[in-house]
Amino acid sequence: MQRQLKLVTLLIFAVGLLVVLSNSTFRMPGNQQNYEPIQPIEFSHRLHAGEMDIPCQYCHYGASQSRHAGIPATSVCMNCHKYVSATKEDFQLEEQEAVSDGREMESITSIEISKIYEAMGYDSLGKPIDGKEGKSVEWIKVHNIPDYVFFSHKPHITAGVDCADCHGDVTSMERIKQTEDLSMGWCLDCHRKDHESLEAAPERTQLLLDCATCHY
Amino acid sequence: MSKDKKYWMSKNEISADEVVAGPADLQTTSTDWNRRDFLKTAGFSLAAFMTACSKTPVNKAIPFLIQPEEVIPGKAYWYASTSHACGSGCGVLVKNRDSRPIKLEGNPDHPVSQGGLCPVCQASVIELYDSKRLFNPMISEENVTWDRLNTNVVQGFRKSRKNGQRIVILTETITSPSTKYYIQKFLKKYSNAKHIEYDPISYSSILDAHEVSYGKRILPQYHFDKADMILSLDADFLGTWISPTQYTKDYRKNRSLDADHISKHVQIESRVSITGAKADKRYAKSVSEIFQLAQDIEHALQSNKAHGLGSELATELKQHKGKSLVISGINDLSIQILVNRINNALENINKTVNHRSPSKQKNGSDLAVAQLLSDMKSGQVGALIIDGVNPVYDLPEGEQFSRLMESIPITIAFSQKETETSSQCNTICPSPHYLESWSDDEFTSGILSMTQPTIQGLGNTRTLRKSIASWAGIENDERILVRNYWKKNYSTRKKGSQSFNRWWDNLVHDGFVTIKPFPLTMGIFRQGTLPKSDFKKGLTLVAYPSLQMLDGRHSENPWLQEMPDPIMKLTWDNVACISQIKADELNLNQGDIIQLSSNNTSVELPIYIQEGQHNDVVAVALGYGREGTQRFKNIGPDWIQKKDTLGENELVGERITHLLSRQEGNIVFSGIPVSMTPTGKKADLALTQTYNTLANPENTAPPSMKVRPFIQETTFDEYKKDPSSGAHHGHQVVTLWKDDHPYEKHHWGMAIDLGACTGCSACVISCQVENNVPVVGKDEVYRRRDMAWMRIDRYYSGEGDDIDVAFQPMMCQHCDNSPCEPVCPVLATVHSSEGLNQQVYNRCVGTRFCANNCPYKVRRFNWFDYAHNDELENMVLNPDVTVRSRGVMEKCSMCIQRIQEAKIEAKAKGLPLADGDIKLACQQSCPADAITFGDLNDPESDISKLVEDPRHYHVLEELNARPTVGYLTMVRNREEEKGGNHHG
Amino acid sequence: MANHVESIREPLVHGNKNLKTITNDVLGIMDKKPTRLWWIGFLLALSALTLGIVAVSYQIMTGIGTWGLNKTVGWAFDITNFVFWVGIGHAGTLISAILFLFRQKWRTSINRSAEAMTIFAVMCAGMFPIIHMGRPWMAYWMFPYPNTRGPLWINFRSPLAWDVFAISTYLIISAVFWYIGMIPDLATVRDRAKTRVKKAIFGFLSFGWSGSFKTWHRYETVYGLLAGLAAPLVVSVHTIVSFDFATSAIPGWHTTTFPPYFVAGAVFSGFAMVLTLLLIARKTLRLEDYITVKHIENMTKVIILTGGIVTLSYATEFFMAWYSGNGYEQFVFLNRAMGPFAWAYWIMVGCNLITPQFFWFKKIRTNMLMVFILTIFINIGMWFERFVIIVTSLHRDFLPSSWAMYKPSYVEIATLIGSFGLFFTLFMLFIRYMPIISIGEVKSVLQFKGRSGGKK
Amino acid sequence: MKKYFVVSFDNEYDLVDATQDFRDNGFNILDAFTPYAVHGLDKAMGLKPSRLGKICFGFALIGLTIGLYGQYWISAVNWPINIGGKPWNSMPGFLPIAFETTVLFAGLGTVFTLLWRTGVLPGRQPISFAPDVTDDRFVVVLTEELSSFKSKKAEAISMSHHAVEWHEKLESE
């Protein structure tokens, strides 16, 4: 009888452990999958890259020329937001109110866009205030890989790798989330694949499995 | 891809205030507990499991505010500029990563550097990021604005003019025409002002001798490529004499083995220098013997009935009339006049000794400084402006000079750092590093070199040109001052017909332009009378500039302090070199401390027993014992048995300039009678090589191998007869394994020409800069834990003072059957599919078996955390190369980051990699072009041709490690009978 | 076990003991309070151990630089200690396994303490490969475990990878062999235990052993199998430890004679350490009747044999160097004998060649004090043998430019003392709290007056 | 209810002879309890030689295959890496570890089978028929059906072999 008692307690403990582990998204240290930090400006990729279909490299112009794709300078945002200071719906709403109150339309600025103006050191209507220094926006870096890995965007873009392969379907993300675990094994799955599929780099795969490809 | 030189006018317009999401080490303010500490603790403590759920530290990515047009973070840009690290003015290309210069490379088109650089220039990039630099103008230790300083200074000038005192500008050789122009303006404004130039390592006797012989005080330009016979009397022209990089490049041009003859280089020297090491024939003579020899030669040329060595050399020189070159590095008027007479008799003028477009690199005059000293003594000097020199340290009368300075009301020091002289001055004008300043320089007449800033100025600094101009009433910023000068004078000197703007843009873009030299008519040769020179017999001191410290201006540069002296392999110290016989006389051995005393001053120095040194000569390096070197007290790691890097005097090395004397106004550096008394104390010398010959020690030498066959040497005649002469024909190497690892894509290989390598160690420092190799301090070097990835092995042969020296640069040989890879348990070092041995730092656990198993002993281990976290200093780190942590093995990676970058660039352009697209840091910097790198799978590449060369061999071939780094037999131009090659 | 009685053979247990007195003699030690002598030994060992712990933690926190190593001599004290302790470890398994297979009855009274000594020595040895690593917190990478890096396994061609498997296998198998051998004795202690606590502890430790002969029958088979496995394991482990040097490319290391040379050296130093310990134990714990002079003599004879093999190996090394005509090899051995580390070489030769020759004389073999002193010399000699092999071959090998000297740092010396501290602390605890002689086996070889004779 | 007849001796020879006698006389021997492994008792009790030898060989084979194929699969199949120009399948290099895994699997496999098979496991309570069995007492236990117990005969045999003590014992105790 005493033996059965021990067996039962063991079983309960095992099940409990399983339950705990499954939903606490157990991850190895250093694995940041599904990391989705709150950014200083609620920039929506879905709206810009998805709906308005702005190409990735318009803002992340470093991707094809350097190791870092680079986060766009605030002045790049100002290329459009010098004119667009609120969403279409807000404008239409304001227009109706102006028509209903019979007054002139005031220029309105949405909260997020006002953050851009503030960063540039402009007033709330996007006009520069002389003498006021702007301060760059401190974005939170989402995709962090260890500093002993030399990852360069340039060869990947040259080889025709699509941004979504590593960054996931950004065009549908309100806030950027790391969809892949970016582990070494995950990178190697792609590096080991035969490369006839990628037109720009019909390389033999052995070359891409050298340690010095990413570690030096 | 060749370096696409991005042209950029000047950096200070763009506001690269915030560094963008660049390399991790520059990534800004994550929690201070960075990723690596987290992983270390997580790995070490079994809490790794529990921390799985907690977040790794948050990293920020901060872009520019306003995007500058052409700055893409992570992409390197190259700017052409000129180096002011030493006086020879080599043209450089500055690699700029994320708006900060991190690497210098010789500008291949520049006539002085011709693509190479010396170690001092390679290491000068770290002095830009030095938190101990002077960043703010000061008046008597109190920060002031420039305006207040200007008013105060001008007031002082007027007061000194009023009471009839003189204003003296004391500088080193000014090579910038615009600075000279503004100094003339200043001298005109303050009528009693005077400008004196002097060089700490003085060449004024050469200039004075030319004034005696030809009536004009010039320093000729020496063409070593046109000389078939070179006789050098104590002139280390491949190491430190006037413009070594240019001379090495030219020297090599006339020694290509395909020609039917190569130049013959005879060196007569008192100490052992790298030029003596490379000479075809080397004689060790004391300074008085050299003076006697010069007289014999000059006499033998007149009437050929002399005898001895002098006549031998004279007859040989006569065979090379018009194609020979005699030079001397001894700063003595009579010897230089003799040299002029000999060159004139051999009709070398304007063939190998160019008077028409002389060199303007050295223009100092010791007499003028002696005169200044007497003026100061008599109180005639009211204001003293000192720029770029350190008289309190440099001059023999240093203490006297500093005492006299107290009585001068206005003393202004232009200097980057706190020096012996600047601490005596009441006004400090911080001067910028040359990488952040504008300058135009005419180092050799006819070539105008441009220096442009490659970073926004780090402090509130001002050059001499700007201050002098503003004191002379011209208020402008640096660029405008230079540009306006040339706008006025470019038409008289330009070649070709370009508008000023285009001419100026090309000048800044290419870094130099050829212009018409100043018209110069030399007088006809006059025999002149030899002044009285009393060179005494007996023990004499020879003070020489060492290759790493020169005159001491770079003494606060850690890379140079830790660079092993090419001959002695000594770091962090200067010593008294004496011969073995002299040491036995006083029964001293290596490291004993002696007291050197001459004209009632003395200094205590450890001794170093130097093979090949003349018995009556004590050679001591200048440039040590400098103020400011006390900063290196704790540069080494901190642990219980650590000894700090400084000597008893709390400095690095000892100052010896106060032992020097003056002769006819010229400072005498060599031949000073001195006495040596042992003090009984002992010092540890931090040597990177303690066994100096390929022969085994007598008591343990096996009969089958008395000498180890790593250096192959032959003579030019033998080479012409049989190109593979000097090779050790070992037995044929066969392997048991079928070749599982063919290299299909690339197979990188390297070859080093032992005949070309002068041992100057430019490659060692260039490699250290490129690959973030740490500095470990004197105690760690003494414990044989230096970290440089390359070392230059220096082997002596022969005995007494008739020695041969062979240099062998030794780095990872990237063997195909590497002994280090099979023994690593965790796959931290494996072979790439392109023939390179890869060392993966983050996988290494540090068992060190690979280092033990490497027959070449080229692997380095991080015994401690050597990296310093000085925020400003770490700006010089190359972001493409990981900074290694403690407990990790590292070695030459064959500049894998350059190979990868070139491959990525070629793939992006869709072009195949051409031979020469990839230049390794060492290969690029070598002034002697000794190192060749390339793809062995490409039959047309240089390396493939060299591998077929009969001179090509591998070190330790019989081990069948199959290294990819090969060496080429050294060929000397000497007759066979001189005992053949000692290396057997 | 065969128990054929040879009256001519000298009895293995003196002082006409019977089963009860054997149990009381051996287990009596555990009942009494520890003697003052024991406390002195234990505290001495403990202080050495704490010194070692302080030195090792300082080194792990600061870096391997706190040792006297440099880029030419990458190993010195660390791997010398490792091979020294593994060598000592092999004697225990040899006594209990190989002598068991040879049916050497006299092993019964010394095998338990020898096996215990094995495990403690291998624990000391196992510590060094971990602390000699530059980054010991990544030591788990030495094992081929599945991971998210591709998966990135280990390099099975590396002698260090073989070491990891060899040492861990050896530790596990020796511990199992030792513990299985001790279960019956633990049951005896359990049955004699007076206090409830002791009964509970040894009850649990003895796995409910009841002495049933069906169990004994299978137990004997397995004990035989384990001995059969442990014997080649001993040889293979020290062969693999010698492969660390034999498979390298360094002259002075790269010789094929290393495996037998190292195994003989291991047995040689192992027996010396067993003798050193047992000579003290039999004196202080008054076990002269069990560990008789005959045992000591037998062990000294083994020492003569293995000492001879070690001497032969030194001679072969020199002969092969001369015979091979390879200049580098010849230089290494000339440098060993006459180079800067000649003092270490001559200590090694002196201790390992001359001391065993003293054991030819019966007077010395049976004089306990002499044997004790000579065994200490042997172990000093064997420590220096590993030191000489490692350091002299590394400090001057191929390129003269990298020739360098080696000087140990305080931390290294403290670590060595610490390893001795660990070894003796564990042995002291073992003596105090465990049956140090295998009662079961001693009883089985106790000589009755003869089978047909009457009662005892 | 089973009834046991426990006979104890004070030396191994009497035990072996007594056991042999009991078996000859058709007694059914449950088990013997001895302080050490008595030689010859297994024949006396009619025990078959143990199969653990074969099991050990089986485990050894498992260890060898895991060792050899594991290393080959890792070094040449899963991620072949060029290490010092050595061939992918460096069989000589894999032998040392293959030997070690063989010994490890054989050793541990056999020991755990022994412990599991004999029930000598941590936390188990010893079954004891007589005291001092682990010290100096040699005991043999006979089982007999209740009715036809020939206790007299058993006593006679024990007496003839100088049994020190014997007694009957019911299973319940």
Please write the tens of the pLDDT for every residue from A167-185: 999 999 999 999 998 999 9
Confirm whether C250 is domain-assigned: yes
C-alpha separations of C380 from C268, C384, C385, C417 in Å: 12, 6, 9, 13
* D67 and D88 together in one domain: yes
Asked if the C-beta of D39 comes within 8 angstroms of chain B's C-beta atoms, the answer is no
Q: Is the pLDDT of residue A25 over 90?
A: no
- Chain B hits for D82, CB-CB cut-off 8 Å, are 740-741, 830-833
Please tell me whether residue C206 adopts helix, strand or coil conformation.
coil
pLDDT computed for residue C9 by the predictor: 64
- Chain A hits for C150, CB-CB cut-off 8 Å, are 184-185, 188
Which of A123-127, B271-275, B569-573 bottoms out in mean pLDDT, i.e. has the lowest? A123-127
Domain of C314: which CATH number? 1.20.1630.10
Q: For chain C, what is the mean pLDDT?
A: 91
Measured CA to CA, the distance from residue B120 to residue B325 in angstroms comes to 27
- The tally of domains found in chain D comes to 2
Measured CA to CA, the distance from residue C165 to residue D97 in angstroms comes to 6
* D164 and D135 together in one domain: yes
- Chain B hits for D86, CB-CB cut-off 8 Å, are 737, 740, 817, 822
Measured CA to CA, the distance from residue D118 to residue D50 in angstroms comes to 12
Domain of B98: which CATH number? 2.20.25.90
Measured CA to CA, the distance from residue A204 to residue C424 in angstroms comes to 59
Asked if the C-beta of A181 comes within 8 angstroms of chain C's C-beta atoms, the answer is yes
Length of chain A: 216
Backbone angles phi, psi at B617, to 5 degrees: -120, 135
Q: For chain C, how long is the longest CA-to-CA vector?
A: 81
The predicted-structure confidence for B685-740, as pLDDT tens digits, reads as follows: 999 999 999 999 999 999 888 999 999 999 999 999 999 888 887 677 777 777 77
Measured CA to CA, the distance from residue B429 to residue A65 in angstroms comes to 42
Q: Are D85 and B820 inside 8 Å of each other by CB?
A: no
* B639 and B747 together in one domain: no
Asked if the C-beta of A185 comes within 8 angstroms of chain C's C-beta atoms, the answer is yes
> How many angstroms separate the CA of residue C33 from the nearest CA in chain B?
38
> How many angstroms separate the CA of residue C217 from the nearest CA in chain A?
27
Confirm whether B556 is domain-assigned: yes
Q: For residue B210, give the amino acid letter.
A: H
Confirm whether B863 is domain-assigned: yes
* B669 and B586 together in one domain: yes
* B244 and B346 together in one domain: yes
C-alpha separations of B620 from B451, B544, B545, B669 in Å: 34, 6, 9, 10
The predicted-structure confidence for C183-200, as pLDDT tens digits, reads as follows: 999 999 999 888 999 999
Asked if the C-beta of C198 comes within 8 angstroms of chain D's C-beta atoms, the answer is no
The secondary structure of B151-180 as a DSSP string is: HHHHHHHHHHHHTTPEEEEEES----HHHH
Residue C317's CB is within 10 A of a number of other CB atoms, namely 20
Contacting subunits of A (3+ beta carbon pairs below 8 A): B, C
- Window C:18-77, CB contacts with A under 8 Å: none
- Chain C hits for A183, CB-CB cut-off 8 Å, are 148-149
Structure tokens at B608: 């170093």
Q: Are D162 and C214 inside 8 Å of each other by CB?
A: no
Residue B646's CB is within 10 A of a number of other CB atoms, namely 20
**Domain that residue C129 falls in:** 27-143+155-445
Confirm whether C10 is domain-assigned: no
pLDDT computed for residue B27 by the predictor: 33
Chain Cα centroid distance, residue D77: 42
Q: Is the pLDDT of residue C304 over 90?
A: yes
pLDDT computed for residue B285 by the predictor: 93
The β-bridge partners of B169 are: B195, B385
pTM of the full predicted structure? 0.91
* B636 and B588 together in one domain: yes
Of B825, B859, B861, the CB nearest to C155: B825
Contacting subunits of C (3+ beta carbon pairs below 8 A): A, B, D
Q: Which of A88-102, B300-314, C251-265 has the highest mean pLDDT?
A: C251-265
Q: For chain B, how long is the longest CA-to-CA vector?
A: 95
Asked if the C-beta of A152 comes within 8 angstroms of chain C's C-beta atoms, the answer is no
Q: What is the dihedral of CA B313, B315, B318, B323, to 10 degrees?
A: -40
Confirm whether B460 is domain-assigned: no
Q: Judge whether C42 and C49 are in contact, CB under 8 Å.
A: no
Q: Are A188 and C150 inside 8 Å of each other by CB?
A: yes
pLDDT computed for residue D28 by the predictor: 86
Q: Is the dihedral of CA B374, B378, B380, B385 positive or negative?
A: positive
* D58 and D105 together in one domain: yes
Confirm whether B321 is domain-assigned: yes
Please tell me whether residue B770 adopts helix, strand or coil conformation.
helix
Q: Are B827 and D83 inside 8 Å of each other by CB?
A: yes
Burial class (CB in 10 A: 0-12, 13-18, 19+), B948: exposed
> How many angstroms separate the CA of residue C178 from the nearest CA in chain D?
12
**Domain that residue D61 falls in:** 52-118
* B19 and B38 together in one domain: yes
- Chain B hits for A204, CB-CB cut-off 8 Å, are 744-745
Please tell me whether residue C275 adopts helix, strand or coil conformation.
helix
Q: How many CB pairs under 8 A join B and C?
A: 208
> How many angstroms separate the CA of residue C212 from the nearest CA in chain A?
23
- Chain C hits for B699, CB-CB cut-off 8 Å, are 334, 338
Sheet with B76-82: list strands edge to edge: B76-82, B91-97, B101-106
Choosing from D100, D118, D136, the residue where a domain stops is: D118
pLDDT computed for residue A13 by the predictor: 86
- Window B:141-160, CB contacts with D under 8 Å: none
- Report the chain B residue with the minimal C-alpha distance to residue D93: B822
The DSSP 8-state label assigned to residue D75 in this structure reads I
- Percent with pLDDT over 90 in chain B: 76
Asked if the C-beta of C146 comes within 8 angstroms of chain A's C-beta atoms, the answer is no
* D111 and D141 together in one domain: no
Structure tokens at C411: 């931390």
Identify the band that residue B979 occupies on the pLDDT scale cut at 50, 70 and 90: very low
Burial class (CB in 10 A: 0-12, 13-18, 19+), C8: exposed
Measured CA to CA, the distance from residue B266 to residue B310 in angstroms comes to 12
- Report the chain C residue with the minimal C-alpha distance to residue A211: C152
* B655 and B557 together in one domain: yes
Q: What average pLDDT score do residues C329-352 get?
A: 95
Q: What average pLDDT score do residues B312-319 get?
A: 92
Q: Judge whether C191 and D125 are in contact, CB under 8 Å.
A: no
Q: Is the pLDDT of residue C24 over 50?
A: yes
- The tally of domains found in chain C comes to 1
DSSP E strand stretches across C11-55: none
Confirm whether C452 is domain-assigned: no
Confirm whether B426 is domain-assigned: no
Asked if the C-beta of B697 comes within 8 angstroms of chain C's C-beta atoms, the answer is yes
Chain Cα centroid distance, residue B276: 17
Q: For residue B333, give the amino acid letter.
A: L
The predicted-structure confidence for D20-61, as pLDDT tens digits, reads as follows: 988 888 888 889 999 988 888 889 888 899 899 999 999 999
Confirm whether B362 is domain-assigned: no
* B120 and B256 together in one domain: no
Structure tokens at C413: 């010396």
* D56 and D44 together in one domain: no
Q: Judge whether B352 and B212 are in contact, CB under 8 Å.
A: no
Q: What average pLDDT score do residues B568-588 get?
A: 94
Structure tokens at B912: 């195949």
Asked if the C-beta of C201 comes within 8 angstroms of chain D's C-beta atoms, the answer is no
Residues whose CB falls within 8 Å of the CB of residue B849, separated by 6 or more in sequence, listed in order: B823, B824, B825, C74, C75, C158, C159, C160, C244, C248
| Of D148 and B898, more confident | B898
Sheet with D28-33: list strands edge to edge: D28-33, D138-144, D3-9, D165-170
Confirm whether C12 is domain-assigned: no
Measured CA to CA, the distance from residue B779 to residue B645 in angstroms comes to 6
Please tell me whether residue B869 adopts helix, strand or coil conformation.
coil
pLDDT computed for residue B504 by the predictor: 93
Q: Are B63 and A136 inside 8 Å of each other by CB?
A: yes
Q: Is the pLDDT of residue B31 over 80?
A: no
Q: Judge whether B319 and B221 are in contact, CB under 8 Å.
A: no
Q: Judge whether C392 and C344 are in contact, CB under 8 Å.
A: yes
Confirm whether B487 is domain-assigned: no
Q: What average pLDDT score do residues B427-439 get?
A: 94
Q: Are B52 and A27 inside 8 Å of each other by CB?
A: yes
- Report the chain B residue with the minimal C-alpha distance to residue A27: B52
* B226 and B277 together in one domain: yes
- Report the chain B residue with the minimal C-alpha distance to residue C65: B863
Domain of B253: which CATH number? 3.40.228
> How many angstroms separate the CA of residue D109 from the nearest CA in chain B?
28
> How many angstroms separate the CA of residue A213 from the nearest CA in chain B?
7
Measured CA to CA, the distance from residue B797 to residue B777 in angstroms comes to 31
Question: Helices C293-324 and C258-284, interaxial angle, to 10°?
Answer: 160
Residues whose CB falls within 8 Å of the CB of residue B211, separated by 6 or more in sequence, listed in order: B217
* B806 and B834 together in one domain: no
Structure tokens at C451: 């089978």
**Domain that residue B22 falls in:** 11-128
The predicted-structure confidence for B779-806, as pLDDT tens digits, reads as follows: 999 999 999 999 999 999 988 788 999 9
Task: Label the pairing between strands B166-171 and B193-197.
Answer: parallel
Q: Are A139 and B61 inside 8 Å of each other by CB?
A: yes
* B273 and B293 together in one domain: yes
Asked if the C-beta of B887 comes within 8 angstroms of chain C's C-beta atoms, the answer is yes
pLDDT computed for residue C137 by the predictor: 93
* B901 and B783 together in one domain: no
Nearest to B80 by CA among B137, B14, B9: B9
Confirm whether B622 is domain-assigned: yes
Q: Are C236 and D93 inside 8 Å of each other by CB?
A: no
pLDDT computed for residue B982 by the predictor: 46
Q: Judge whether B96 and B455 are in contact, CB under 8 Å.
A: yes
Query: What spatial distance separates the first Cα and last Cα of chain C, rounded to whole Å?
Result: 20
Asked if the C-beta of B886 comes within 8 angstroms of chain C's C-beta atoms, the answer is yes
Q: For chain B, what is the mean pLDDT?
A: 89
pLDDT computed for residue D115 by the predictor: 93
Q: Are C208 and D121 inside 8 Å of each other by CB?
A: yes
Q: Are B818 and D85 inside 8 Å of each other by CB?
A: yes
Q: Is the pLDDT of residue A208 over 50?
A: yes
Residue A20's CB is within 10 A of a number of other CB atoms, namely 10
pLDDT computed for residue A43 by the predictor: 93
pLDDT computed for residue B15 by the predictor: 31
- The tally of domains found in chain B comes to 4
The β-bridge partners of D154 are: none
Nearest to B284 by CA among B806, B804, B978: B804
Measured CA to CA, the distance from residue C48 to residue D172 in angstroms comes to 56
The β-bridge partners of B251 are: none
Buried/exposed A122-156: b ≥16 CB within 10 Å, e otherwise:
beeebeeeeeeebebbebbbbbbbbbbebebbbbb
Of B75, B838, B897, the CB nearest to A65: B75
* D84 and D111 together in one domain: yes
Measured CA to CA, the distance from residue B242 to residue B232 in angstroms comes to 13
* B773 and B632 together in one domain: yes
Choosing from D81, D101, D118, the residue where a domain stops is: D118
Which H/E stretch holds residue B909? helix B896-909
Report, in this order, helix, strand and coil percent for chain A, each rounded to 5: 45, 0, 50
pLDDT computed for residue B967 by the predictor: 96
Q: Are D82 and B741 inside 8 Å of each other by CB?
A: yes
Chain Cα centroid distance, residue C383: 13
Nearest to B649 by CA among B671, B669, B627, B620: B627
- Percent with pLDDT over 70 in chain B: 93
Structure tokens at B396: 């023999």
Alpha helices in D73-132 (DSSP H): 91-118
Chain Cα centroid distance, residue B422: 25
Q: What average pLDDT score do residues C24-33 get?
A: 86
